[in-house]
């Protein structure tokens, strides 16, 4: 299963994590190279489906986590710790708060052999 989104062409050539490391219905933060730069990424899991997003709120460019790797997440909403923007999961659309109508930037990813990989565009 591959998810399109970013125009990234240069990505880390190793897996982000093993699928079992991401709690079911949860999120995991990892740093990986995207377009040659280290980026904080959040990896969301719903069953065997995974979505990878930049850990950046489109409102003010701040990280979404309230502490490194710690996110405010319920069944279908991720909240930005800085200004309370609410993002629908798994798609990443902002449904409430200061960036309503914008989206989290998704990074192409795939699950292969039980691991989550970034996929070049």
* For residues 85-97, average pLDDT: 95
Binned at pLDDT 50, 70 and 90, residue 13 comes out as: confident
Domain containing 63 — which CATH number?
2.102.10.10
Per-residue model confidence (pLDDT) at position 6: 44
**pLDDT higher than 80, residue 86:** yes
Number of domains in the chain: 1
Q: What is the pLDDT of residue 70?
A: 93
Average pLDDT in the chain:
88
| Confidence category of residue 24, pLDDT binned at 50, 70, 90 | confident
C-alpha span between 31 and 40 (Å, rounded): 4
Domain range spanning residue 97? 2-118
> For residues 15 and 22, what is the distance between their CA atoms, to the nearest angstrom?
13
Q: Which of 1-5, 36-40, 57-61 is predicted least confidently?
A: 1-5
Task: Answer yes or no: are the C-beta atoms of 95 and 77 closer than 8 Å.
Answer: yes
- What is the model's pLDDT at position 3? 52
pLDDT for 83 beyond 50:
yes
Given a cut of 70, is residue 95 above it in pLDDT?
A: yes
What was the pLDDT predicted at 110? 93
Please tell me the distance from the alpha carbon of residue 24 to that of residue 17, in angstroms, as a whole number: 14
């Amino acid at each position: 299963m591959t998810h399109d989104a970013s125009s990234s062409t240069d990505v880390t050539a190793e897996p982000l994590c093993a699928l079992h490391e991401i709690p079911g219905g949860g999120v995991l933060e990892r740093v990986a190279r995207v377009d040659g730069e280290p980026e904080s990424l959040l990896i969301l899991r719903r069953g065997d489906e995974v979505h990878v997003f930049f850990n950046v709120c489109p409102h003010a460019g701040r990280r979404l986590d309230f502490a490194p790797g710690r996110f405010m997440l319920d069944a279908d909403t991720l909240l930005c710790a800085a200004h309370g923007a609410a993002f629908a999961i798994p798609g990443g659309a902002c449904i409430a708060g200061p960036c309503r109508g914008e989206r989290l930037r998704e990074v192409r990813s795939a699950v292969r052999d039980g691991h989550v990989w970034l996929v070049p565009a």
